[in-house]
Amino acid sequence: MPVNAYLLIELLLSGGINYLLQKQQVDAVINKARAEQRDITTEELNLLKSQRDAMADVTDAMLDEAAKL
């Protein structure tokens, strides 16, 4: 398989795993807040957003690298 195919497969797998990890973190925060019978705090929401942004930056960097080949 050409190098581009391997990079695309890696990108798809990494993106899928990152999505699942982010979803799991969001679900955990939501479930914790529900168990405590409260709303999600601004701090929790900001933390989730910053983690999402970090994962998006990594994915964007991988896309840029794949586009160069």
pLDDT at 60: 86
Q: Is the pLDDT of residue 1 over 70?
A: no
Domain locations along the chain: 3-68
The pLDDT of 50-62, averaged and rounded, is: 87
Element (H, E) at 50: helix 42-68
- pLDDT tens for 8-19 read 888 888 888 988
Q: Which residue has the tokens 């991988």?
A: 62
Taking the mean position of all CA atoms in its chain, how far away is CA 31?
19
Query: pTM, whole model, 2 decimals?
Result: 0.74
DSSP 4-22: HHHHHHHHHHHHHHHHHHH
